[in-house]
Amino acid sequence: MIKRVSVLAIAIAVIGWAGGYTSLRAQQTWTGMISDSTCGGDHGGEIDPVECTKKCVRNGDKYVLTTENGVKVIPIANQGFAGLAEHAGTAVKVTGELTDGAITIVKIE
């Protein structure tokens, strides 16, 4: 009986440690700009990126994060995240997890 309890306790400890390690390891930080899925990193030069992003999202586009001066476009999984509309078209620092090519944001500043 004691042996079973010991094995169970060790198994629970290992699973808990592995789960915590996976979550910490998966969280990353990116610096870029919140944009929209149509324009990505290019709003046409003379168009205000803030207004362009807001307009495109109102018209059904999705928020994205552009990095590397707009060259790389990363979809955002949690479109309802608080702060996306506030930071539309502006430079941000985003913390979250990259899963299946899309960022799930946990923090935006």
Which tens digits make up the pLDDT trace of 60-85? Answer: 999 999 999 889 999 999 999 999 99
d(CA 18, CA 25): 10
Where exactly are the structural domains of the chain?
Answer: 28-108
CA-based Rg of the chain, rounded to a whole angstrom? Answer: 20
- CATH dotted code for 28-108: 2.40.50
pLDDT tens per residue across span 10-57: 656 556 555 555 555 579 999 999 999 999 999 988 789 999 999 999
Q: Is residue 93 within 8 Å of 109, Cβ to Cβ? A: yes
